Amino acid sequence: MAQMTARQPVPLRFTPGRTILYLAVIGLCVLFGFPVFWTLMSSFKTTAEMAAFPPVIIPDVFQWDNYRRVLVVPRIPVTLWVLNSAIVVTLTTLGTLISASVVAYSFARFEYRGRDALFMITLATMMLPAEVTLIPQFILFYKLGWINTLNPLWVPAWFGGGGFAIFLMRQFILSLPRDLDEAALIDGAGYFRIFWSILLPLCKPIMATLGIITLIGSWSDFIGPLIYLNTPTKFTVSIGLQFFNNSPEVGGESLRHLLMAACILSMIPTIALFFLGQRYFVQGIVMSGIKG
């Protein structure tokens, strides 16, 4: 009887404070969700509905053909841009996960001179705006002959993955008991074997979290392709979409409705990935803050 009573739902009481909180949450959801809703509805509009005033929110007839036309617009190789983005995102995500986990393992499990100072310097890099290092990086990649290639977009991820990635991985590894390492050492396992066979499988939640964050950031990156890429055939999706805006007329027709359809198509992979990995994402964020 006690267990049955404990499982009964508790009735929700709407106090004035809770009512205000719920209204604020609903208002913020509408505020932040309306741009996405507007983009989605605009992707189904005709050229006349896009230029209508007052604005048309929901089209009279949904133009599903807009999504097909995005892929066949002359001089706008959307399929090639998606392929370039997929290559950059895959290599960036793999590089971040591998290199950040190795560096974080060093910071979390080994004691050596200057370790804490190096970790503080790593954290300090998170305070530097990307614009500060933009010119030195451009000069470096220019000397290497990497301008107008995809290399500057993914190679840096294989050298630590960034201060945030290292910090997130380190915090999670610190939450794992050292008894696992000691037991493996007694059994004769080396440090690399401990890392690869014991700790890394336990880091799946935080690696999923870091992978989702890295993938979304890499897929949406705009300043990198804008600085390093010059040839349209090497563009990624984020910068390639500007062709719909900068070349507004093809055969006398405005392309703003196709731009909205292209934006929706570019959002689908990241949104789908987030919802598929939402459970691991939340678990990784929570567990990475257990131990400092």
Per-residue pLDDT in tens (0 to 9) along the chain, 292 residues: 445 455 565 566 667 778 888 889 999 999 998 988 988 898 888 888 888 888 888 888 888 888 888 887 777 788 889 999 999 999 999 999 999 999 999 999 999 899 999 999 999 988 888 888 889 999 999 999 999 999 999 999 999 888 999 999 998 899 888 888 888 888 888 889 989 988 998 888 889 889 988 998 999 899 999 999 988 889 999 888 887 776 545 555 677 888 888 888 888 888 888 777 777 666 666 655 544 4
The verdict on 26 and 124 lying in the same domain is no
Q: Measure CA 54 to chain center.
A: 36
**Is 6 part of any domain?**
no
The verdict on 52 and 86 lying in the same domain is no
**Residue for token digits 């209204």?**
23
The verdict on 169 and 63 lying in the same domain is no
Q: Domain ends where: 69, 95, 111?
A: 69
The verdict on 214 and 115 lying in the same domain is yes
The verdict on 131 and 253 lying in the same domain is yes
pLDDT of amino acid 290: 46
Strand partners, 291: none
Domain count, the chain: 2
CA distance 206 to 42: 37
**Is 1 part of any domain?**
no
The verdict on 63 and 163 lying in the same domain is no
CATH number at 265 reads 1.10.3720.10
The verdict on 62 and 128 lying in the same domain is no
The verdict on 36 and 123 lying in the same domain is no
Secondary element (H or E) of residue 229: none
**Is 281 part of any domain?**
yes
**Is 5 part of any domain?**
no
Residue 199: strand, helix, or coil: helix
Q: Which residues contact 137 (CB under 8 A, 6 or more apart)?
A: 152, 156
Range of the domain at 49: 13-69
The verdict on 120 and 38 lying in the same domain is no
The verdict on 258 and 226 lying in the same domain is yes
The verdict on 28 and 130 lying in the same domain is no
**Is 2 part of any domain?**
no
pLDDT of amino acid 167: 92
| pTM more than 0.85 | no
Nearest CA to 263 out of 235, 233, 243, 234 is that of 243
pLDDT of amino acid 1: 46
pLDDT of amino acid 251: 52
The verdict on 109 and 238 lying in the same domain is yes
pLDDT of amino acid 204: 86
**Is 138 part of any domain?**
yes
pLDDT of amino acid 292: 43
